[in-house]
Amino acid sequence: MNFQQLDSTDQKLVEAAKAVLQKNYHPIRHTVGAAVLCSSGNIYTGINIEACGYGPCAEPIAIGAAFTKGEREILAIAAVCKQGDEYAVLSPCGNCRQLLMDYASEAMVIFNHDGNILKTQVRNLLPGAYISDFDDA
Ligand SMILES: [Zn+2]
């Protein structure tokens, strides 16, 4: 696996995810913040929207915010949750890994690997992934 250490840009992305969660935290409804870095250099953020049974994760909300503004190329993504008074980087769930494969397969994902915060391309987090043909449409 090609897992890399974070650089200052990655740290900035984690801080953006923390900031959006800090601003919107709710102990039940909004517990995760995410941030995506696009090729324009802009960062977009989102929070999860918990609902009875299912609610979208923070990552698709952040990706949707970026796409809504016309962005199409995501370079990196990070998500955080609150643990006590601290914020911790979260690894993306399986659904979000597939979403990233479909929309940003080259993106770097900042994730928690046994307590170490590292980054890697999403394909390394979803071996044998289903490959859509969205790009051919
Ligand atoms: Zn998810």
**Ligand 1: centre distance to CA 39 (Å):** 22
The CATH code of the domain that includes 70 is: 3.40.140.10
Q: Check residue 132 and give its pLDDT.
A: 78
- Where residue 114 falls (left for φ over 0; alpha for ψ -120 to 50; beta otherwise) is left
- Tell me if residue 50 is catalytic: no
CA distance 106 to 63: 14
**Ligand 1: centre distance to CA 93 (Å):** 4
Report how many domains make up the chain.
1
CA distance 14 to 10: 6
Residue of 15, 59, 86, 106 with catalytic role = 59
pLDDT digits (tens, 9 = 90+) for 85-127: 999 999 999 999 999 999 999 999 999 999 999 999 999 999 9
Mutual orientation of helices 94-103 and 58-68 as an angle, nearest 10°?
A: 20
Q: Please provide the average confidence, as pLDDT, over all residues in the chain.
A: 94
Q: Check residue 133 and give its pLDDT.
A: 74
- Tell me whether residue 2 is in a domain: no
- Tell me whether residue 21 is in a domain: yes
Mode of pairing for the β-strands spanning 74-83 and 32-38 = antiparallel
**Ligand 1: centre distance to CA 48 (Å):** 9
Q: Report which of residues 2 and 36 the model is more confident about.
A: 36
**Ligand 1: centre distance to CA 100 (Å):** 10
**The residue to which tokens 């071996």 are assigned:** 127
**Ligand 1: centre distance to CA 53 (Å):** 14
pTM above 0.85, yes or no: yes
pLDDT reading at 79 higher than 90: yes
CA distance 88 to 84: 10
pLDDT digits (tens, 9 = 90+) for 6-58: 999 999 999 999 999 999 999 999 999 999 999 999 999 999 999 988 899 99
- Tell me whether residue 3 is in a domain: no
Model confidence at 137, pLDDT cuts 50, 70, 90, reads: low
- Tell me whether residue 51 is in a domain: yes
- Tell me whether residue 28 is in a domain: yes
And the tokens for 135?
A: 């790009």
Q: Check residue 136 and give its pLDDT.
A: 57
**Ligand 1: centre distance to CA 22 (Å):** 19
* Domain membership of residue 102 as a residue range: 8-136
Q: Between the CA of residue 106 and those of 55, 114, 133, what are the distances in Å?
A: 26, 23, 15
- Tell me whether residue 107 is in a domain: yes
